[in-house]
Amino acid sequence: MQLNTIKPAEGANKARRRVGRGIGSGLGKTAGRGHKGQKSRAGGYHKVGFEGGQMPLQRRLPKRGFKSQNLKFNGEVTLGQLDKLVIATNATEVDLLALKSAKLVGQIVRNVKIIKSGELTKAVKLNGIGATAGAKAAIEAAGGSLG
């Protein structure tokens, strides 16, 4: 095989539509543009969402809601995930860096909260990590603490 003999697979490239080349081609006369109107003319176009002068849908509907950009910096970890991490690493203390290295939270996360889902079997000390009321009770019941 030579570089100059490489060809695309059979049927991979379709022939380009040559419009306006007579009626025998099937794309003569109006060249697939239909009759009259803005879209049939050269240079005729309109903006995305344009509805012919009618008030566009995105302007008819009310503006609603807001999504905080700070949500991407928040993460949550369940008690079950925390338990697996503690058992796997034999850790007595867990902080944000440990959670990131275990890929339990994303790299851009700044604030982490432990939520009560699953069970914690080993005692663990949490540094710089928050917890819900139920999760805090479960952590303290297992002999751990929040620092």
Residue 74 in any domain: the answer is yes
C-alpha to C-alpha distance for 73 and 147, rounded to whole angstroms = 21
Which CATH number characterizes residue 80's domain?
3.100.10.10
Question: pTM here?
Answer: 0.58
Tens-digit pLDDT profile for residues 82-93: 999 999 999 899
For the segment 31-90, what is each residue's pLDDT rounded down to a tens digit? 999 999 888 999 988 889 999 899 999 999 999 999 999 999 999 999 999 999 999 999
Place of tokens 């503006």: 63
Is residue 104 situated within a structural domain?
yes
User: What's the total number of domains in the chain?
Assistant: 1
**Structural domain that includes position 103:** 70-146
- Residue 76, strand partner residues: 113
